């Protein structure tokens, strides 16, 4: 009898061992993430938020996660999932992308976006566009339908029109909140100039553009073929100068994906460009064998602040591990697991 029990226990152990070897992906994917999004980092403080506004942000982030997740569950690619999630946020006035884009110094909305397919390193991006309703779709069209990676201004708009994308009057991007933010920053700047309080460094780097509420949007997804994709879309920074381009549309800077990891950034673009943030995270993983959490933390908590920059990023690796470091007060962010469990966060919880 005792022997029989021992044999049974032994057989169960052998079966468990074999299943872990034969079906590692099943065990690995349990509880792992398939989609991660952000709605921008910045000075996002609970004390400055109304419960209604907080709810509105959480609802928009949840909708973006659900929309991308539904694509993945329908067997669509990670590229389709990140595009779909970003479109939801571009169409919301809450985020600094698409509809809710911030204003330039001249009172215009100039939008940047990029998308990258980690399975083949194909990428597309647009910069300085003013009439494309969903710049992320234009970035995807450039990746899939042109021989180029990046197109800017009126050329990108012409291409988007030919690709059948929705073109809008620039007035579509006008929102009162963003307009007021521009007036506010301009007022603060003129007071600073009168008082001669701006130090040399801030004049050089354009602190007048730094409104501490970045609000760019981004997404990284892992599809059921194991392919990663990343996407980022932004209006840039309030009061930016004519023709200024940030990190978001630059491949390897604000947006990057390969077979190991996908990354989308948000923050003070000039510093992210100088730190080549997204590719640096991927390189630390590839060449230094760091985990996604270690690599993302190294870049956002050490390298970018060492230059004087701030912001955050989201990263998702090929095994469904996620990292979302930020060195600002808050970052709108959310994740969804393979089982559909959603988590949405705003502050340093
Ligand atoms: N990174 C963006 C830029 O500098 C701003 C943001 O993250 O909201 O254009």
Q: Which long-range contacts (CB under 8 A, 24 or more apart) does 160-165 make?
A: 160/126, 160/129, 160/132, 163/138, 165/132, 165/133, 165/134, 165/137, 165/138, 165/141
Separation CA 229–CA 257 (nearest Å): 6
What token pair was written down for 1?
């009898």
| Ligand 1 proximity of 235 Cβ (cutoff 6 Å) | no
- Tell me which residue has tokens 């004390």: 47
How sure is the predictor about 43, in pLDDT bands with cuts at 50, 70 and 90?
A: confident
The answer on pLDDT for 131 being more than 70 is yes
How sure is the predictor about 6, in pLDDT bands with cuts at 50, 70 and 90?
A: low
Mean of the pLDDT values across residues 25-45? Answer: 77
Query: Among the listed ranges 28-42, 104-118, 189-203, which one has the minimum average pLDDT value?
Result: 189-203
* Ligand 1 geometric centre to CA of 284 (Å): 23
User: Three-state DSSP class for 327?
Assistant: coil
131 is catalytic: no
How sure is the predictor about 215, in pLDDT bands with cuts at 50, 70 and 90?
A: confident
The ligand 1 atom at the shortest distance from the C-alpha of residue 266 is 7
pLDDT for 19? 45
Radius of gyration of the chain measured on its C-alpha atoms: 22
* Domain positions in the chain: 4-18+31-175+210-347
The ligand 1 atom at the shortest distance from the C-alpha of residue 235 is 9
Q: Identify which has the larger pLDDT, 1 or 37.
A: 37
pLDDT for 20? 43
Express as a percent the part of the chain with pLDDT over 70. 85
The ligand 1 atom at the shortest distance from the C-alpha of residue 268 is 4
- Please choose from 214, 245, 277 the residue to mutate so as to test ligand 1's pocket, defined by most ligand atoms within 8 A of CB: 214
The answer on pLDDT for 31 being more than 90 is no
Strand partners, 129: 111
Query: Among the listed ranges 16-30, 75-89, 332-346, which one has the minimum average pLDDT value?
Result: 16-30
Give one DSSP letter per residue of 204-263, joined into a string. Answer: HHTGGG--SB---EEEEEE-TTS-EEEEEEE---TTB-TT---STTSBTTTEEE-SSEEE
Give one DSSP letter per residue of 150-196, joined into a string. Answer: EEEHHHHHHHHHHTT--B--GGGG--HHHHHHHHHHHHHHHHHHHHT
**Closest residue (by CA) to atom 7 of ligand 1?**
266
What's the sign of the alpha-carbon dihedral 234, 322, 327, 349?
Answer: positive
| Ligand 1 proximity of 237 Cβ (cutoff 6 Å) | yes
| Ligand 1 proximity of 128 Cβ (cutoff 6 Å) | no
- The residue from 104, 130, 131, 216 that is catalytic is 216
* Ligand 1 geometric centre to CA of 123 (Å): 19
Strand pairing of 330-337 and 322-323?
Answer: unpaired
pLDDT for 5? 58
**Which of 14, 18, 17, 16 has its CA nearest to residue 6?**
14
| Ligand 1 proximity of 214 Cβ (cutoff 6 Å) | yes
pLDDT for 317? 98
Q: Identify which has the larger pLDDT, 201 or 315.
A: 315
- Please choose from 103, 311, 312 the residue to mutate so as to test ligand 1's pocket, defined by most ligand atoms within 8 A of CB: 311
Max CA pair span of the chain = 93
Mean of the per-residue pLDDT values of the chain: 89
The answer on pLDDT for 206 being more than 70 is no
| Ligand 1 proximity of 218 Cβ (cutoff 6 Å) | no
The answer on pLDDT for 218 being more than 60 is yes
* Ligand 1 geometric centre to CA of 215 (Å): 7
* Ligand 1 geometric centre to CA of 268 (Å): 5
* Ligand 1 geometric centre to CA of 339 (Å): 32
Give one DSSP letter per residue of 199-220, joined into a string. Answer: -HHHHHHTGGG--SB---EEEE
Q: Identify which has the larger pLDDT, 43 or 240.
A: 240
Count of Cβ atoms closer than 10 Å to residue 75 Cβ? 10
Residues 6 or more apart from 316 whose CB is under 8 A from it?
33, 35, 36, 220, 221, 222, 228, 261, 262, 292, 322
The ligand 1 atom at the shortest distance from the C-alpha of residue 246 is 9
The ligand 1 atom at the shortest distance from the C-alpha of residue 215 is 8
| Ligand 1 proximity of 320 Cβ (cutoff 6 Å) | no
| Ligand 1 proximity of 236 Cβ (cutoff 6 Å) | yes
The answer on pLDDT for 30 being more than 90 is no
Mean of the pLDDT values across residues 312-326? Answer: 98
Mean of the pLDDT values across residues 76-96? Answer: 98
| Ligand 1 proximity of 96 Cβ (cutoff 6 Å) | yes
* Ligand 1 geometric centre to CA of 28 (Å): 34
* Ligand 1 geometric centre to CA of 214 (Å): 6
pTM score > 0.85 for this model? Answer: yes
Per CATH, the number for 4-18+31-175+210-347 is: 3.60.20.30
How sure is the predictor about 48, in pLDDT bands with cuts at 50, 70 and 90?
A: confident
Residues 6 or more apart from 196 whose CB is under 8 A from it?
none
**Closest residue (by CA) to atom 8 of ligand 1?**
214
């Amino acid at each position: 009898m005792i022997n029989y029990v021992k044999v049974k226990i032994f057989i169960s152990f052998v079966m468990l061992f074999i299943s872990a070897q034969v079906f590692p992906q099943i065990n690995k994917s349990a509880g792992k993430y398939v989609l991660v999004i952000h709605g921008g980092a910045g000075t996002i403080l609970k004390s400055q938020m109304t419960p209604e506004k907080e709810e509105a942000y959480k609802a928009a982030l949840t909708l973006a996660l659900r929309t991308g997740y539904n694509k993945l569950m329908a067997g669509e690619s990670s590229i389709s999932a990140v595009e779909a999630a970003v479109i939801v946020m571009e169409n919301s006035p809450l985020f600094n992308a698409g509809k809710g884009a911030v204003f330039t110094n001249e009172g215009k909305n100039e939008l940047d976006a990029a998308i990258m397919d980690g399975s083949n390193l194909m990428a597309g991006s647009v910069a300085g566009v003013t009439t494309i309703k969903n710049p992320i779709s234009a970035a995807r069209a450039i990746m899939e339908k042109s021989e180029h990676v990046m197109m800017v201004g009126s050329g990108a708009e012409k291409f988007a029109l030919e690709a059948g994308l929705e073109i809008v009057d620039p007035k579509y991007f006008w929102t009162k909140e963003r307009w007021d933010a521009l007036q506010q920053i301009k007022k603060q700047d003129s007071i600073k100039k009168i008082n001669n309080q701006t130090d040399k460094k801030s004049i050089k780097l354009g602190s007048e553009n730094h409104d501490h509420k970045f609000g760019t949007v981004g997404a990284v997804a892992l599809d059921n073929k194991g392919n990663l994709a990343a996407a980022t879309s932004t209006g840039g920074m309030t009061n930016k100068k004519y023709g200024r381009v940030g990190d978001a549309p630059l491949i390897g800077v604000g947006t990057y994906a390969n077979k190991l990891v996908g990354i989308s950034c948000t923050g003070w673009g000039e510093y992210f460009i100088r730190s080549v943030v997204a590719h640096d995270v991927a390189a630390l993983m590839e060449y230094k064998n760091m985990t996604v959490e270690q690599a993302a933390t190294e870049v956002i908590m050490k390298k970018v602040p060492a230059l004087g920059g701030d912001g955050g990023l989201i990263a998702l690796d090929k095994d469904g591990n996620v990292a979302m470091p930020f060195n600002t007060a808050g970052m709108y962010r959310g994740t969804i697991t393979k089982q559909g469990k959603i988590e949405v966060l705003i502050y340093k919880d």
